[in-house]
Structure 1
Amino acid sequence: MTDSVPSAAPGSADASLGQIEWVTLPDVAERLDVSISKVHQMIRDRELLAVRREGVRRVPAELVANRTVLKHLPGILTLLHDAGYNDEEALRWLYQPDDTLPGTPAAALGGDRAREVKRRAQALGF
């Protein structure tokens, strides 16, 4: 099941987060064909990003497209964590609109701009 859960008030700096399609952890497990325990482990290992929305941990649907986690996502999450970003901040960074990428860094991870997204995430640590 995919939900669109508002994340911020219209007009706020985080209004772009309101456009994210969300999936619950049990739905992620089903999409990836793994146990819910494995999904929790992936979140702890920063292979996947989950945040609370309306009291339920959810994952942006596009991060688990095509029955797999986006290829470069674990590396990006590690870079962001090393730069001091928590999960909410990492989510905001991934979904910040960027005119030099195709939409957002999260959208660019699924295409040929993934290296550029990695370079930008690396630069945050300096």
Structure 2
Amino acid sequence: MPTDWLTLPDLVALTGEPLGRIRRLLDDKHLVASRRDGTVKVPAAFLMDGHPLPALRGTIIVLEDGGFTDDEVIDWLLEPEESIGVAPIAALRAGRKSEVRRVAQALA
């Protein structure tokens, strides 16, 4: 799934939060980032209305507890998932958190 990527300065501008708060959101798994083209970036799809998607944190934790790396978490969230019918991030944005988490737990 093609996505726009946001750098940390982009996130500061978009959310209105200071850089320290953005880093805390990453540390606390409200967001997950990856180094792309030498820069730490977050997929824009992980935010809604200037805030991290609320359903994202639990899904990230389930996947990471199952051994997924940050890059693998991002890839899984962005790629179409046959058992869901769409990319997991699209399902999360549509309010299908329970379904996404069930599939994530099965993989983890």
- TM exceeding 0.5: yes
Q: In angstroms, what is the RMSD of aligned CA positions?
A: 1.4
The alignment of Structure 1 onto Structure 2 pairs a total of residues equal to 108
AA aligned to 2:86 is G
Shift of 1:102: 5.3
Residue 61 (structure 1) aligned to one of 44, 56, 64: 44
Would you say 1:95 and 2:74 are equivalent positions?
A: no
Alignment partners' CA distance in 1, 2:65 and 2:107: 9
Alignment partners' CA distance in 2, 1:20 and 1:115: 23
Gaps (5+ residues) in structure 2? Answer: none
Shift of 1:97: 0.9
Shift of 1:81: 0.7
Alignment partners' CA distance in 1, 2:47 and 2:58: 15
Please give the TM-score of this superposition, normalised by the length of structure 2.
0.90
Residue 37 of structure 1 corresponds to: 20
Larger radius of gyration: 1
AA aligned to 2:97 is A
Deviation track 1:31-52 (CA, whole Å, cap 9, x = no partner) reads: 2221111111111111101101
Residue 47 (structure 1) aligned to one of 15, 19, 30: 30
Gaps (5+ residues) in structure 1? Answer: 1-15
The runs of 4+ residues in structure 1 deviating greater than 6 Å are none
Answer 1 or 2: higher relative contact order, Cα 8 Å, separation at least 6: 2
Shift of 1:98: 2.4
Residue 121 of structure 1 corresponds to: 104
